[in-house]
Amino acid sequence: MAAAAMMFAACCNKQEAATEVNTADMVMQNILNRKSVRSYNGDSIPADVMENLLRAAMAAPSGRDLRPWQIVVMTDKSQYETVFEGNFNMQKFMESGAVIILCADTTFTAPTRDNPDGPAVTQVNQMWRDDLGAVTENLLLAAEAYGLGACWTACYPYPDRMDPIKKALQLPSTVVPYAVVPIGYHDGTTQPKDKWDPARVHYNRW
């Protein structure tokens, strides 16, 4: 009986290990297959898929767990000319299923570290850029997993890109549009780049 139980346990462990390997392979494949896709077929993105993309974005790590992100999802193409006027590639946006604007509140309100029992004060969050980079990459990886193409499109720190967005969307003064990500279904012709370069890796010292 004990032997059977042990065999069963060994068998389960093997299955678990096999599942883990498959999951690792799938995650690695997804990361390595991600690429910037700049042309789409115009199909809209189902609501449940969009919610999962946004869930992935918000699962990003965050300094002091402040989670400074705010996300604007745009699908109304009649607004694009006003919101994205400036030097964006408009064709990319018009062909996409949605354009996601990843924003950050650059401040946070809490008691200071010097006086943790004191009153809440508004402070500068020095890590919002790092957090938003992680949010953006999570979104791109989730898009890849759903067979969608996406392209990280810089917004911050360019005033000619940020200002029309801030104005058109009436963003609060402390909120910065960090990146704009068009997402859409595509023809699959864009290939990922192989960026692996062992010469960039330094073990223990340069």
> What separation in angstroms does the CA of 71 have from each of 64, 88, 122, 156?
20, 19, 21, 14
Query: Can residue 67 be called a binding residue for ligand FMN (CB under 6 A)?
Result: no
What is the rounded CA–CA span in Å between residue 3 and residue 25? Answer: 33
The region of 30-38, 50-58, 111-119, 164-172 touching ligand FMN under the rule CB under 6 A is 30-38
Site for ligand FMN in 175-194 (CB under 6 A): 193
Q: Minimum CB separation from ligand FMN for residue 46, in Å?
A: 24
**Considering the complex, what minimum distance in angstroms separates the CB of residue 134 from ligand FMN?**
12
Told to check if 125 binds ligand FMN by CB under 6 A, we report: no
CB 125 within 8 A of CB 103: no
Site size for ligand FMN, by CB under 6 A? Answer: 8
Question: Which residue, 72 or 123, is less far from ligand FMN as judged by CB?
Answer: 72
Rounded CA separation 10/5 (Å)? 9
Beta-carbon count within 10 A of 37 CB: 24
Helices (H), the chain: 2-33, 47-58, 80-83, 90-95, 128-145, 159-169
User: By C-beta, is 78 or 189 nearer to ligand FMN?
Assistant: 189
Q: Is 129 in the site for ligand FMN (CB under 6 A)?
A: no
Residue 146 interacting with ligand FMN (CB under 6 A): no
Sign of CA dihedral 165, 169, 173, 175: negative
Contact (Cβ atoms closer than 8 angstroms) between residue 57 and residue 102:
yes
Site string for ligand FMN, 147-176 (x = CB under 6 A): ----xxxx----------------------
Contacting positions for ligand FMN (CB under 6 A): 35-36, 38, 151-154, 193
